Structures are given as C-alpha cells and as structure tokens.
Amino acid sequence: MSRNGPLALLFHALFVAFTLAPIVIVCAVAFTPQGYLSLPTHGLSLRWFRAIADNSEFVDSFSTSLWLGAVSATIAIAVSVPSALALARYRFRGREALAAVLQSPLMIPQVVLGIAFLRFFTEVGLGGTFAGLVLGHVVIVMPFALRLVLTAATGLEREIEHAAVSLGASAWRTFRRVTLPMILPGLASGWVLAFITSFDEVTMTVFIASPRTTTLPVRLFLYIQDNIDPLVAAVSAALIAVTIVAMVLLDRLYGLERLLVGEGRR
Amino acid sequence: MALFAVMLLTPLAATALLSLHGFGMYKGIEDVYRLDNYRDILRDSYFYGIFARTFRLALLVTALAVVIGAPEAHILNRMRQPWRSVFLLAALSPLLISVVSRTLGWALLFGSTGLVNRGLVALGLIATPLQFMYSETGMVIALTHVLVPFMVISVWASLQRLDPEVEHAAVSLGASGFATLRKIVLPQVMPGVLSGAIIVFALAASAFATPAIIGGRRLKVVSTLVYDEFLNTLNWPLGAAIALLLLLANLAIIVGCNRLVERRYAQVFE
C-alpha cells in the first residue's frame, strides 16, 4: 500500500486541528482565571469549576442527567435483551417489522420526536415529569442499545445453551448462568453507549423537560442562548470529562474503534 | 415490545392530527380538521425562505463533508499502526461529545476569543475580521464539524472492503498514483461516499442545537422555527405542520437516495 505524501499529511494535520480545536478551546477557556471569556495565558484557575458548585441549577441538572441516563439505559437494555435474542435466533413473522420499529427513531428528526412527545405527555398527564423524560429517552437510545446487544446475541454459540438444557438446567437457569454471561460484554457496552446518548441528548429533551427536570445539556443550551461566559465553558469541560470516562469504559468493554467503525478487515 | 411501538407511533399520529387543527390568538387550539396550516406554510415566503435556507445549509454541509471527510478516510486508511488507530479515534470520538459543548467551542473560536479571525488575519488571508457568529458561514462550519465524522465512518467502511491487490495490480501495470486513485479506488468507495452524504444531509437538515447557538434567534432553520412555534408563539398546530413537512422531506430524501444508490451500485453491494 502506498504511503501518504507530504500534501496528504498536511491535509491530515489540518483535519485533526479542525476536529479538535473547538473541544480544546472549551477546555482551555474553562481554566481561565479571568472574570470574562479569555484564554488562560497567565496561569490556570479552578474558579469557574467552583462556580458550578455554587450554581444549584447546574448541579441539579447534572444529577437529573445522570439519573435519566442510568434509568433509560437500564430500561433500554432490559427491552433489548429479549428482542435481540429473538431477532438473532428465530425467523418469525413480523421479524423485519420489529427490527424496523426498534431502529426507526434514528430516521425521525429529534425535533419531531420532541414535539410529538410534548403533546403526548401533556395529554396523558406526564408533561414535564421525570417519568416522561425517561420514556422519551428510552425511545431515543433504544437503537444504540439494541445494536450492541444484537451483535453479541448473533455471535452466540447455541450449542453451549443446548448442552446446559440437556444437562437438566431450567430455561431461566440456562439464561442466567449460560446465556447472560456470554452476552454480558455486549450488554455492558450497549448500556454505556445508551447512557452517553441519553446524557448528551438535547434536541428532544428541550421540548419535554420542565424547569425542575431540566437535563444538563438542555440547561447549558438555554444558558448559552442568553449569554456565554467562562461558567458554560467549565460546565462543558465537565460534560466532556464525563464523556471521556464513558469512552474509556467503552474502549475496555468493547473496543472504541470497533464501536465507531465496526469490525475491520485487518 | 408492542408498548415501544405504541410509545413511538401514538405521539406521531397525534402530531399529524394536531397539525390539522386551527389556532387563534385568543381562542387557542381549535378542534377542527383543515389543511390550512399546510397551505399557509407553502404560500408564505417567510416559511419558504426558512425551508430554503435549511436545505441550502444542509447541501453545503454535505458537500464540505464529502470534500473533507472522504480524503481524510483515505489518508487514515493508508497510515500505519499505531497512528491509524490513534487518529481514527481523534477523528471520530468527538461524535460522543455533547453537540452543545462542541458548538460552544465554535462560538468561542468565532466570537469572544476570536482565534479564527486572528489566525486568518495573521496568515494574511483577510484584512478585516469576518462575521462568523449569527451568519450562515458560521453555521456551515460548525455543522460540518459536528457531522463530518459520519462521512469518515461511511467511507472508511467501504475502504475496508477494498482488495489492496487490485490497487497493486494497477500500479504494477504502470498507473500513476493519481490514476489509481481516480480509476480504481474512487469508483469502489462511491457507495460509501453517497451513503455518508445521505446521513450527513438528513442530520444537517434536522439539526437543532448548532443552528440555534451559532445562528442566534434571527437566523432560523426549520427545527429552530418549530421550537419557536411551540415554546414562544405557542401555535402548536402550525409547529406540528412544519415539523411533519420536515419529517416527510427528510424521509423522502433518505429513502429516495437510498433506492438510487442501491440501484446504481447494485453490483458493488453483492
């Protein structure tokens, strides 16, 4: 295979700079010691991170986001496991339809989901509640959870399950002691991916959250609409930190490269 | 499982019904079924302009994503380990970072710190600072940044299916590097480029947070218009109609282009 020429490497350097510049600048500005937006040229300071702690709205939103992500990822996984096992094992009528419905939230603009849920939740009395947020988020993160659980379920060797059954294990025991441990890595990485997706979601949530149930990205978005100060840079840096922790987890559990671009040939 | 379908389809159906209702400043939502909202949207040049802007931005972003993302995928593919994995992650992992944070980064680069303008002036490319915030240029740049990883992923996937032997054969038969790229590699990765383009276009046309932050309240796109109708003007029926038009336009483009790509490149997929 031919090597990259100097022009190609220059292009590559520019691309990487373009990709990382906004992220780097947010993190840099977050450490400014000044009271206004600036790069920390004269030393670093944590004053804006301390300012987050004094801002109860951001702190509340942060915990809302963490809970929302954890609960909706857990529900999405709980629904994904039986669906993925069914999709991976059996050819049944409606199989295509089931897969299509589970994947369809990817095709629908999140603005449309947002207004659809806003109206729906208001009608059924869940408007602005945490339960409503969870339901909406489960729908959005489902395709991501399902994809990873499905990959794990498809690679499953059924002979091992058959062996367990023939040795007298009950269906539930086979599932718990044999099937579940084998799909656990897929399940865990599906959970983390679902969690990140929910944790970062802003477009749909901006419609269905009430002031008491606002998530961190939505709070950040609404704040930025009015004014941009080092505080939002610090909150963003914190968000990025949470995401990086999740990425490291995903890399350990599943392989980040495999998650992002699928199985390579080499 | 049935519950999931209900959770998804009932609200969408309700939204379709809502879009047919009337709305009056003093009467609120009227319980009637008419196509008035759709007629108003299609006739009014204000709405027409916003739809046009949205699809213009989406087209520009898609074109830029192709021009930047496809060569980058090719360059990454030719790198050696461990650089390959390192830079692949550098190019793609921003996908997992919140869109709000990434857009804030552009707002900082364009605005207060003005690093982009200072850099361009220092390089002698421009004489006076350009207006990026609250401009379509700024929106295109930020949206391209947010969406280009999807293009890289898509092209990367089709590059992985290439047989390097074919490339070697071309070179050993005396083809120049450029000729090999144009005649051998490019035709084979075209489906990847096109499916990446479809994804980027669909996401750009329905993007919300980035246009809202960079474009501000004046420079609206369809999704920020829907937001305003719902949360500021409170004309829900009109907002629902706009949103459904966006959904239909998006679905038509995704499904239509997919068909086209699959028919045109049927042999590549087999």
**Per-residue confidence at A219, pLDDT binned at 50, 70, 90?**
very high
Answer whether A261 sits within 8 Å of B18, measured CB to CB: no
In a domain, A262, yes or no: no
| pLDDT value of position B39 | 84
Residues spanned by the domain of A192: 52-256
> Do residues A90 and A172 touch, judged by C-beta distance below 8 A?
no
| pLDDT value of position A154 | 82
Please say if the pLDDT value at position B233 is more than 50: yes
In this structure, what DSSP letter does residue A37 have?
Answer: S
Q: Nearest 5°: phi and psi at B130?
A: -90, 155
Q: Is the dihedral of CA A206, A207, A212, A213 positive or negative?
A: negative
CA triple A231-B144-A236, angle to 5 deg:
15
Residue B78, token pair as written in the block: 């030719």
Residues of chain B contacting residue A79, judged by C-beta atoms under 8 Å apart: 1, 4
**ipTM of model:** 0.87
Whole-angstrom CA distances from A96 to A2, A143, A146, B121 are 43, 14, 14, 56
In this complex, which of A2, A101, A110 lies closest to B78 when CB atoms are compared?
Answer: A2
Torsion of CA A158, A163, A166, A169, to 10 degrees: -90
Answer whether B108 sits within 8 Å of A228, measured CB to CB: yes
In a domain, A4, yes or no: no
pTM for the full predicted model: 0.89
Distance from C-alpha of A57 to C-alpha of A133, rounded to nearest angstrom:
18
Please say if the pLDDT value at position A83 is more than 90: no
Which has the higher per-residue pLDDT, B225 or A123? Answer: B225
Please say if the pLDDT value at position A191 is more than 50: yes
The lowest-confidence range among A151-165, B88-102, B161-175 is: B161-175
Residues of chain B contacting residue A247, judged by C-beta atoms under 8 Å apart: 93, 96
**What domains sit in chain B, N to C, each tagged with a CATH number?**
34-44+55-269 (1.10.3720.10)
Cβ-Cβ contacts under 8 Å for A46 (sequence gap 6 or more): A31
> Do residues B132 and B140 touch, judged by C-beta distance below 8 A?
no
Residues of chain A contacting residue B160, judged by C-beta atoms under 8 Å apart: 261, 264-265
Residues of chain B contacting residue A248, judged by C-beta atoms under 8 Å apart: none
Which has the higher per-residue pLDDT, B182 or B65? Answer: B65
Which has the higher per-residue pLDDT, B41 or A64? Answer: A64
Distance from C-alpha of A162 to C-alpha of A173, rounded to nearest angstrom:
12
> Do residues A105 and A143 touch, judged by C-beta distance below 8 A?
yes
In a domain, A185, yes or no: yes
Q: Is the dihedral of CA A43, A44, A46, A48 positive or negative?
A: positive
Please say if the pLDDT value at position A250 is more than 90: no
Answer whether B109 sits within 8 Å of A265, measured CB to CB: no
Q: Nearest 5°: phi and psi at A241?
A: -60, -45
* Most confident segment among A149-163, B77-91, B142-156: B142-156
What CATH number does the domain containing A233 carry?
A: 1.10.3720.10
Reported as a single tens digit per residue, the pLDDT across B65-109 is 999 999 999 999 888 888 888 898 888 888 889 899 999 999 999
Size of interface A-B (CB pairs under 8 A): 231
Please say if the pLDDT value at position B267 is more than 60: no
Answer whether A119 sits within 8 Å of B209, measured CB to CB: no
Please say if the pLDDT value at position B119 is more than 90: no
B43 to chain A, closest Cα gap in Å: 22
Query: Above pLDDT 90, what percent of chain A?
Result: 39
Distance from C-alpha of B221 to C-alpha of A74, rounded to nearest angstrom:
35
Residue B76, token pair as written in the block: 């990454």
> Do residues B221 and B207 touch, judged by C-beta distance below 8 A?
yes
Answer whether A112 sits within 8 Å of B247, measured CB to CB: yes
A212 to chain B, closest Cα gap in Å: 17
Please say if the pLDDT value at position B270 is more than 50: no
Distance from C-alpha of A53 to C-alpha of A59, rounded to nearest angstrom:
7
B264 to chain A, closest Cα gap in Å: 23
Answer whether B212 sits within 8 Å of A225, measured CB to CB: yes
A225: closest chain B residue by CA: B213
Give me the residue label for tokens 């500021």.
B232
In a domain, A164, yes or no: yes
| pLDDT value of position B66 | 96
Q: Is the dihedral of CA A46, A51, A56, A61 positive or negative?
A: negative
Please say if the pLDDT value at position A98 is more than 80: no
Mean pLDDT for A143-166 is 86
A195: closest chain B residue by CA: B96
Q: What is the mean pLDDT of chain B?
A: 85
Residue B252, token pair as written in the block: 């038509």
Please say if the pLDDT value at position A106 is more than 90: no
Q: What is the enclosing helix (H) or strand (E) of B24?
A: strand B22-24
| pLDDT value of position A138 | 94
A193: closest chain B residue by CA: B96
Q: What is the mean pLDDT of chain A?
A: 87
> Of A231, A255, A245, which is closest to residue A69 (Cα–Cα)?
A245
Distance from C-alpha of B137 to C-alpha of B132, rounded to nearest angstrom:
6
Mean pLDDT for A218-235 is 91
In a domain, A199, yes or no: yes
Mean pLDDT for A89-115 is 81
> Do residues A85 and A178 touch, judged by C-beta distance below 8 A?
no
Give me the residue label for tokens 């993190």.
A27
Mean pLDDT for B135-156 is 93
Answer whether A29 sits within 8 Å of B108, measured CB to CB: yes
Residue B189, token pair as written in the block: 């990765």
Q: Nearest 5°: phi and psi at B28?
A: 75, -150
B115: closest chain A residue by CA: A25
Reported as a single tens digit per residue, the pLDDT across A32-79 is 888 777 777 777 888 888 988 888 899 999 999 999 999 999 999 999
B206: closest chain A residue by CA: A109
Please say if the pLDDT value at position B54 is more than 80: yes
Please say if the pLDDT value at position B3 is more than 60: yes
Distance from C-alpha of A205 to C-alpha of A215, rounded to nearest angstrom:
8
Which has the higher per-residue pLDDT, B152 or B186? Answer: B152
- What burial class does residue B80 get, using C-beta atoms within 10 Å of its C-beta: 0-12 exposed, 13-18 middle, 19+ buried? exposed
| pLDDT value of position A2 | 60
In this structure, what DSSP letter does residue B35 have?
Answer: S
- What's the domain count of chain A? 1
A75: closest chain B residue by CA: B4
In a domain, A154, yes or no: yes
Q: What is the enclosing helix (H) or strand (E) of A98?
A: helix A95-103
Reported as a single tens digit per residue, the pLDDT across B193-228 is 988 898 899 999 999 999 999 998 889 999 999 999
In a domain, A264, yes or no: no
- What burial class does residue A17 get, using C-beta atoms within 10 Å of its C-beta: 0-12 exposed, 13-18 middle, 19+ buried? exposed
